[in-house]
Amino acid sequence: MAEEQGRKWDRCLADSAVKLATGLGVGIVFSVLFFKRRTWPVVFGLGVGLGMGYSNCQQDFRSPYLLHGHMVKEQ
């Protein structure tokens, strides 16, 4: 259990890095292709990537506390 935190952080950071890079890449692509090499899609992509990574990280950290409801069918 103590290591879980560490593991989570590792995962989180790795995932965030990946997302960031991916965002950057997609941003660059969009910027080059559709938006006339403006900066903002890149920044937008970075932001999207960061946001996704953050969200995933949070979700991962929250996972033990999340309640999952089940529909109980009457038999």
Partner 1 sequence: MLRVCLKGANSAARKCLCGNGVPLHPLQQCRSYTSGGSGSSAGKIVAASVLTMGGGVGGTILYANWDPKFRANVEKSIPYSDQVFGLALGPAAPPPVINKPRKVEPVQISSMSEVWKDSKQPKAKEVQRKAEQPDAEGPPAPAPQETLEGEACVFVAMILSAEQNVLSVFCIPLAAAKCTECEHEPAVKERPEGEVAARLAEQDKAEQDLLTSLSSNLEDALGSTAKVTLQAIGAQEAALQAIAQHTRQLREAMEAEAPPDKKSTQWRVLEDALSERSRSVDEAGAAVLKAKAELDKLRGVIDGAKHLKIAAARPSILAAEENLHSMVVDLDSVVTRVQTAQSEAKIVSQYSELVNEAKAQFQKELNSITPEIQANWKGLTGKLTQDDLNSLIAHAHRRIDQLNRELAEQRVREQIHIDSALEQQKLEDKKALEVAISTALEHNREQMRLEQEKKVEETREVMEAEMRTQLRRQAAAHTDHLRDVLKVQEQELRSEAEEILNSSLMEKETEYRRLTQDQLDSFTLDMNAAYARLKGMEEAIDSHVIAEEEARKAHQLWLSVEALNYTLKTAALNDPTEPLEGAVQAIKESCAEDEFAQALATALPSESLSRGVYSEASLRARFYTIRQLARRVALIDETRNSLYQYFLSYLQAMLLFEKAQEAPPAKLSAEDLDTFKLLSYAAYSLEHGDLELAAKLVNQLKGESRRVAQDWLKEARLTLETKQVVSLLSAYANAVGLGTTMAP
CA 5, CA 63: separation in Å to the nearest integer? 12
CA 12, CA 15: separation in Å to the nearest integer? 5
Are residues 20 and 57 in contact, defined by beta-carbon separation less than 8 angstroms?
A: no
73 binds partner 1 (CB under 8 A): no
69 binds partner 1 (CB under 8 A): no
From the list 23, 65, 68, 74, which residue makes contact with partner 1 (rule: CB under 8 A)? 65
From the list 25, 57, 68, 69, which residue makes contact with partner 1 (rule: CB under 8 A)? 57
Residues that bind partner 1 (CB under 8 A): 1-2, 4-5, 54, 57-58, 61-62, 64-65
